[in-house]
Amino acid sequence: MKSVKLRDMNKIELETRLNENLEALQNLKFQKALQQLENSTMIPNTKKEIAQLKTILNEFKLGIRKEEDSK
């Protein structure tokens, strides 16, 4: 997912997406261990998106980014 789209998401959506990606990464690692992984570029891409999500969530925590309650 593009970082611009990630930055438009609210905090709850980001946390949900982070949990989904962490589970997906674990499944990809199992597939790799069992030699069932077809696309090996999925692991680095998932790790990159997890890092982006954690960065944005940390910005919320530090107060750099403000959550918009209503538009």
The string of pLDDT tens digits covering residues 23-64 is 999 999 999 999 999 999 999 999 999 999 999 999 999 988
**What are the sequence ranges of the domains in the chain?**
3-62
Query: From its phi and psi, is residue 35 left (phi > 0), alpha (psi between -120 and 50) or beta?
Result: left
> Which pTM does this prediction carry?
0.86
- 17, 9 Cβ separation under 8 angstroms: yes
**Could you name the CATH architecture of 3-62?**
Orthogonal Bundle (1.10)
Cα 71 from Cα 67, distance rounded (Å): 11
The pLDDT confidence band at residue 70, using thresholds 50, 70 and 90, is very low
